[in-house]
Amino acid sequence: MRSLKVHGGWAVVLSALVVASACGDDAHSTDDGPGAAPGSGGTRASGGEAGSTSAGAATGGSHAGAPITELGGSSTAGGGGETPALVEDTAGRDSTTTVTSGRGGEGGSAGGGEDDISSSGGTSSTTLLTDVKIEPNPHMTISCFVSWNTNVPASSEVDFGQGEYAFRIRDAAHVLEHRVLVIGMHAETAYRIRAVSESETGTGSAEGNFTTGALPADIPQATLTAKNSEKTEPGWTLTNVEFGRSAPAKVVMYDEQGLPVWYFIDGTHADSRGDVATALVGDRVLVGPAIGEPAREVDLSGEVKWSGPAQSTKQLQTHEFGKTESGTYLFNVELDKAIEGETTHIDDQLLEELSPELGVVWSWNLFDHVPAVGTREELCHGNALSLDLAANVAYYNCRYLGLFKLDRASGEIIWRLGGTYDQQSLGSGDFTYDPPESQFSDAHDPEVHDDGSVLLYDNGGYGSSSGTKFHTRVLEYQLDETKHTATRTFEFPGDFPVDAWYRNDWYTPIWGDADRLENGNILVTAGMRSSSLSTRIFEISRQGEVVWELTFPPNYGSYRAERLAPPPLVEAL
């Protein structure tokens, strides 16, 4: 088998023999029998507009200028076929093929690697792979697309790994044209790539290689500072990354080893606030609004599929961006200086549920239901919103006033779970705490669960007066909405034997997140904006053990994180 070398943006075309045979001596051949049936969850397309994607499936053509390796030819079941013919590029070169990863975003440099694809079918197979291509993902330096055709309708699967195949992405749908997005690779690493299709009559496959490029600037190489594999919730961790207020926001997925395996660069404006909420909903990643950037919904290739309304300094979308099961979008909007006095001004808060077409489905204004009291500009500082569509209620958190339960039909406040930070503006709230000292101060991102429990990240206070030393913690309460009691059921660090940092030094003044995981553990985001202190994302067990921890270098901040279990698309072999 011969191939061509690629430099810069040259196109690569390689014509070679594709054979369905019982055995072979090509170092890149495979001999897959019909027993490995692909499942579902891969990305696959049949034709379509070039460069478009739909529901996580990349459709159609390739990115202009990206190096592509292509394998074509013909074959017959049982080992016959045409003699390979070398097709030279315009420069007349005929050495080995090199595939680079493409631009993939700001600051990233392309990587390169040998790509020498070969194909074979399984024993007695009539599933033949032709026109096999490995294309760098134009949106991401650590991702690629693998595409091919089959002579009969067949499933789509791509296996990949370093040295040995370790992961696969697959789609059980039987089609003739196949295109699979490959995510889950590390930067500047050589991977073996294998395309596999199974039909009703057998299995065919093709192999090649792909080398990922460098990460874009300002995506941190974090340090895995704790890991207990037997006690962690397996999966990837999705979070936003802010770098010193000077670079665009990044959204990154880190694997269990703490290495980036997916990213998205959020526009061009400097992310000076860092409050970019992100989540995975189905096969789409939500990227919250940032300074100068609207909220976005992107597919797993990194292509923007939906954008929210433009940002405004007078109506600033901040801290929250969500999507409901009915397909609407949730926003928290700060109405700057909504109430103006002679010496003071106070910001109002607007909650909006928007349709995909940006029509208002539901809205709620804070000052329609509570008085604009006091002299603090941010009376509320809203930072979390969720809906219970079945019960037609909303849960809204003001950092300084507490957690509100709202009747969506009337807009009335059903109850307020108050903290100790501000007990004057609206009073102490509607719940008493058991024990009394368990009452939180000021919170980020409360989770209200169906069992009546509330999990929250208690920042522990804000301000610098009187030399007070604040301390952050995670708290969980069981609410009795009839008796209006909040009983503490979990506290970390509490009385657990933990390292000194958690007990003495843990204080995050502006961000924070605590999520209950499927295994009962809690994922905590302790985000810092500091040249000397580090952001930590860590998982704790109900026994108070830190079973996984990722530590960022100084100057890198994070607002929220989410554990993706299982990871999107990728499964272990």
In a domain, 258, yes or no: yes
- The answer to whether residue 23 scores a pLDDT higher than 70 is no
Same domain, 206 and 252: no
Same domain, 153 and 235: no
Query: Which residue, 167, 188, 211, sits at the end of a domain?
Result: 211
Same domain, 290 and 273: yes
* Residue 140 CB neighbours (<10 A): 29
How many residues in the chain? 573
Domain tally, the chain: 2
Q: Can you give the pLDDT at residue 341?
A: 84
In a domain, 448, yes or no: no
What value does the mean pLDDT of the chain take?
83
Query: Which residue, 179, 211, 243, sits at the end of a domain?
Result: 211
Q: Can you give the pLDDT at residue 119?
A: 54
pLDDT in tens, 257-314: 999 999 999 999 999 999 999 999 999 999 999 999 999 999 999 999 999 999 998 9
Same domain, 188 and 245: no
Same domain, 48 and 155: yes
pLDDT in tens, 231-262: 999 999 999 999 989 999 999 999 999 999 99
Same domain, 187 and 277: no
Taking residues 332-348, what's their average pLDDT?
92
Supply 248's token pair. Answer: 């665009």
Which structural domain range is residue 239 located in? 218-305+511-573
Taking residues 543-563, what's their average pLDDT?
98
- The answer to whether residue 431 scores a pLDDT higher than 80 is yes
Alpha helices in 404-540 (DSSP H): 500
DSSP state of 435: S
Q: Percentage of residues in the chain with pLDDT exceeding 90?
A: 75
- The answer to whether residue 32 scores a pLDDT higher than 50 is no
Same domain, 273 and 163: no
CA dist 162 and 151 (Å) reads: 30
In a domain, 278, yes or no: yes
- The answer to whether residue 467 scores a pLDDT higher than 90 is no
Q: Percentage of residues in the chain with pLDDT exceeding 70?
A: 78
Lowest mean pLDDT among 19-23, 407-411, 425-429, 461-465: 19-23
In 75-111, which positions are buried (b, 16+ CB within 10 angstroms) versus exposed (e)?
bebeeebeeeeeeeeeeeeeeebbbbbbbbbebbbbb
In a domain, 374, yes or no: no
Q: Can you give the pLDDT at residue 120?
A: 52
Query: Which residue, 161, 180, 211, sits at the end of a domain?
Result: 211
pLDDT in tens, 509-527: 999 999 999 999 999 999 9
Same domain, 106 and 233: no
Taking residues 131-136, what's their average pLDDT?
98
Taking residues 423-438, what's their average pLDDT?
97
* Coil vs helix vs strand at 175: strand
In a domain, 400, yes or no: no
pLDDT in tens, 82-104: 322 222 222 222 222 333 344 34
pLDDT in tens, 167-181: 999 999 999 999 999
Q: Can you give the pLDDT at residue 464?
A: 66
In a domain, 126, yes or no: yes
In a domain, 444, yes or no: no
Alpha helices in 376-486 (DSSP H): none
Same domain, 175 and 72: yes
Same domain, 22 and 96: yes
Q: Can you give the pLDDT at residue 126?
A: 84
Same domain, 97 and 225: no
CA proximity to 509, closest of 488, 535, 484: 535
Q: Can you give the pLDDT at residue 342?
A: 80
Same domain, 122 and 78: yes
49 vs 465: which has the higher pLDDT: 465
In a domain, 384, yes or no: no
- The answer to whether residue 43 scores a pLDDT higher than 70 is no
